[in-house]
Amino acid sequence: MRNKRGQIVKYLVYVLLGLLALGLGLFIAVALSGRGTSAISYIKGLLSFGVG
């Protein structure tokens, strides 16, 4: 049981890291294209969607 919980936690950590990397990549891509403010609002939307 404890081992299974550890696997779930590890899976969640990998998912969160993947989402962070994806969000950071999108943020950099949009910021480089000259729309930094929309990138920030987009990231905030992603974060609020992920939390809520």
Per residue in 1-52, pLDDT (tens digit) is 678 888 999 999 999 999 999 988 887 777 777 665 676 777 777 777 766 4
Burial of residue 31, with CB atoms counted within 10 A of its CB: 0-12 exposed, 13-18 middle, 19 or more buried? middle
pLDDT for 7 equals 92
Where do the domains of the chain lie? 2-51
Enumerate long-range contacts of 45-51, CB under 8 Å, 24 or more apart. 46/19, 47/23, 50/19
Q: What are phi and psi of 18, to 5 degrees?
A: -65, -45
Answer positive or negative: Cα dihedral of 17, 22, 26, 32. Answer: positive
